[in-house]
């Protein structure tokens, strides 16, 4: 993860830009990507693909010619999407276009304007306070040109053409935990699963926040029923923050319940958020009316409240950097994500080939209740609730039996031809 973040964190990854494309090229060297391209001006549902923002440089100079702020030092110094300007102006005029973080004054805030076109500079409070004098030379060498919104997709083909999509946005320049680190986790998971043949096809998508999913789904709308569910991945490395599951709109979906099961099994403090109410990103569009694909979100974050617009410390500032990123937390996030995918992959629909209760001893499946009382009780509980059409996870959840134990027992039953297992058709 560290290598990928080091290469991409400081790139100017705006939603349609050269550095966004460069980030996809870096990912493609790790895991092969198929690139989907959507030209500027194309209407995708109710959204229009924006033009490509090109910036070659920007600065603020005082009356002596000294540069107070320079885009070369950080992509955050210029409001992302800024219109061009080259003008001498008064201090009062300039200050109207300067942004600082009140909560984290030592950092540079991340500010963007794509749909309300304007210009502006971002800086630390110390830099703002250093704007002394009557006049300043302000320059932003930028332009909007026709380009292409890109979505990168890595596919691990499964036994079924129905799929689960894993999503992360990579378009926030100068940000690590917010978005980019979710992609780092997804890359590692894809590498770990290389060479496997999962039950469901796995789609790893790297895109611009919201507009990327909107564009992709608008062009694949007729195939949307083959996407059974999604997981939005972000903010995995927040120091000291617990894992949070934001439910899909269909809170009873198997994916929601499997994620909840895995998180609770860690024995650690966890948080839960209702759909749309905690961290709403691409998952919000997947869950929206007319799309209706259950998509959960996994993060280490807190909900936004009025007066505190920070999901985690240094959110949307230059403080969201590798120095403040907890790789141990991110590794734990990766293992949780991997286990959720593993449960969905192993889950099967069960059909009995027997009536009543099978003779376990005859099939060498009996466990001595005197030696292993918990396992024995668990097996009989499973048998008591084993109706045709139930899935292994549904059964284990209902009976309070560990999923792996239930899975191993049902697989033994399949080997003894007591049950038939088939791929799940919904999650």
Kindly give the pairing relationship between strand 85-90 and strand 67-70.
unpaired
Mean pLDDT for the stretch of residues 218-240: 96
Residue 172 has a pLDDT of 95
Using the predicted structure, report yes or no on whether residue 165 has a pLDDT greater than 90. Answer: yes
Domain ranges of the chain: 2-49+148-346, 52-145, 348-423
Question: CB under 8 Å to 279, separation ≥6 — which residues?
Answer: 234, 235, 244, 246, 273, 297, 299, 301, 303, 311
Q: Which CATH class is domain 348-423?
A: mainly alpha
Mean pLDDT score, 394-415? 97
249 Cβ contact list (under 8 Å, min separation 6) = 275, 276, 287, 292, 294
The pLDDT of residue 304 is above 80: no
pLDDT score of 427: 87
Q: Is the pLDDT of residue 189 over 90?
A: yes
pLDDT at residue 199, rounded to an integer: 96
Q: What is the pLDDT of residue 383?
A: 95
Distance, in Å, from the CA atom of 366 to the CA atom of 413, rounded to the nearest integer, reads 11
Note the pLDDT of residue 309. Answer: 78
What confidence tens digit (pLDDT) does each residue in 65-105 have?
999 999 999 999 999 999 999 999 999 999 999 999 999 99
Instruction: Name the average pLDDT for the chain.
Output: 96
Structure-block tokens of residue 71: 């885009």
- Percent of the chain's residues with pLDDT above 90: 92
pLDDT tier for residue 290 given thresholds of 50, 70 and 90 = very high
Report the distance separating Cα 182 and Cα 170, nearest Å: 8
pLDDT of residue 303: 80
Per-residue tokens: 60: 């603020």
Cα gap 362→225, rounded to integer Å: 43
115 CB contacts (<8 Å, ≥6 apart)?
50
For residues 373-377, average pLDDT:
88
Q: Locate the DSSP E strands across 255-390.
A: 270-273, 295-299, 348-352
What average pLDDT does range 380-403 have in this prediction?
Answer: 96
Q: Which residues of 373-405 are buried (b: 16+ CB within 10 A; e: fewer)?
A: eebbebbebbbeebeeebbbbbbbbebebebee
Q: Mean per-residue pLDDT for 279-284? A: 93
What's the pLDDT tens digit per position in 247-281? 999 999 999 999 999 999 999 999 999 999 998 89
Q: Are 366 and 348 in contact (CB under 8 A)?
A: no
DSSP H helices in 292-326? none
Q: How far is residue 318's CA from residue 175's CA, in Å, rounded to a whole number?
A: 7
Overall average pLDDT of the 375-402 stretch = 95
Q: Kindly state the tokens that stand for 19.
A: 């550095």
39-75 confidence digits (pLDDT tens) = 999 999 999 999 999 999 999 999 999 999 999 999 9
CATH superfamily of 52-145: Domain of unknown function DUF2172 (3.50.30.90)
Inter-residue contact 423 to 199 (CB < 8 Å): yes
Q: What is the mean pLDDT of residues 225-234?
A: 97
pLDDT at 41: 97
CA dist 136 → 55, 79, 87 (Å): 20, 18, 8
CA distance 37 to 50: 13
- Domain 2-49+148-346 matching CATH 3.10.20.30: the answer reads no
């Amino acid at each position: 993860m560290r290598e990928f973040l080091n290469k991409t964190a400081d790139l100017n990854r705006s939603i349609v830009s050269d550095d966004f494309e460069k980030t996809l090229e870096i990912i493609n060297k790790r895991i092969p990507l198929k690139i989907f391209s959507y030209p500027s001006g194309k209407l995708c549902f109710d959204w229009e693909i924006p033009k490509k923002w090109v910036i070659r440089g920007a600065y603020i100079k005082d009356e002596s010619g000294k540069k107070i702020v320079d885009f070369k030092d950080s992509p955050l110094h210029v409001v992302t999407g800024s219109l061009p300007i080259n003008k001498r102006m008064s201090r009062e005029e300039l200050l109207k276009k300067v942004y600082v973080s009140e909560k984290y004054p030592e950092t540079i805030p991340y500010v963007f304007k794509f749909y309300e076109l304007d210009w502006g500079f971002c800086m630390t409070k110390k830099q703002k306070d250093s704007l002394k004098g009557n006049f300043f030379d302000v320059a932003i060498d930028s332009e909007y040109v026709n380009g292409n919104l890109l979505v990168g997709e890595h596919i691990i083909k499964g036994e079924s053409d129905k799929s689960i999509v894993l999503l992360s946005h990579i378009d926030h320049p100068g940000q690590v935990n917010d978005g980019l680190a979710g992609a780092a986790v997804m890359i590692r998971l894809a590498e770990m699963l290389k060479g496997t043949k999962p039950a469901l096809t796995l789609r790893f998508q790297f895109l611009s926040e919201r507009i990327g999913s909107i564009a992709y789904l608008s062009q694949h709308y007729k195939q949307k029923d083959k996407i059974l569910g999604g997981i939005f991945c972000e903010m995995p490395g927040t120091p000291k923050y617990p894992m949070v599951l934001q439910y899909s709109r269909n809170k009873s979906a198997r994916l929601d319940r499997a994620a909840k099961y895995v998180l609770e099994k860690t024995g650690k403090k966890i948080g839960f958020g209702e759909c749309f109410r905690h961290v709403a990103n691409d998952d919000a569009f997947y869950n929206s009316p007319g799309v209706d694909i259950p998509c959960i979100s996994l993060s280490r974050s807190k909900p936004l409240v009025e007066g505190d617009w920070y999901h985690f410390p240094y959110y949307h500032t230059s403080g969201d950097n590798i120095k403040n990123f907890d790789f141990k937390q991110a590794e734990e996030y990766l293992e949780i994500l991997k286990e959720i995918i593993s449960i969905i992959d192993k889950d099967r629909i069960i059909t009995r080939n027997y009536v009543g209760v099978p003779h376990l001893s005859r099939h060498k499946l009996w466990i001595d209740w005197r030696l292993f009382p918990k396992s024995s009780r668990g097996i009989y509980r499973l048998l008591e609730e084993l109706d045709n059409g139930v899935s292994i996870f549904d059964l284990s959840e209902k009976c309070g039996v560990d999923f792996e134990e239930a899975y191993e027992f049902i697989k033994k039953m399949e080997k003894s031809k007591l049950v038939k297992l088939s791929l799940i058709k919904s999650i």
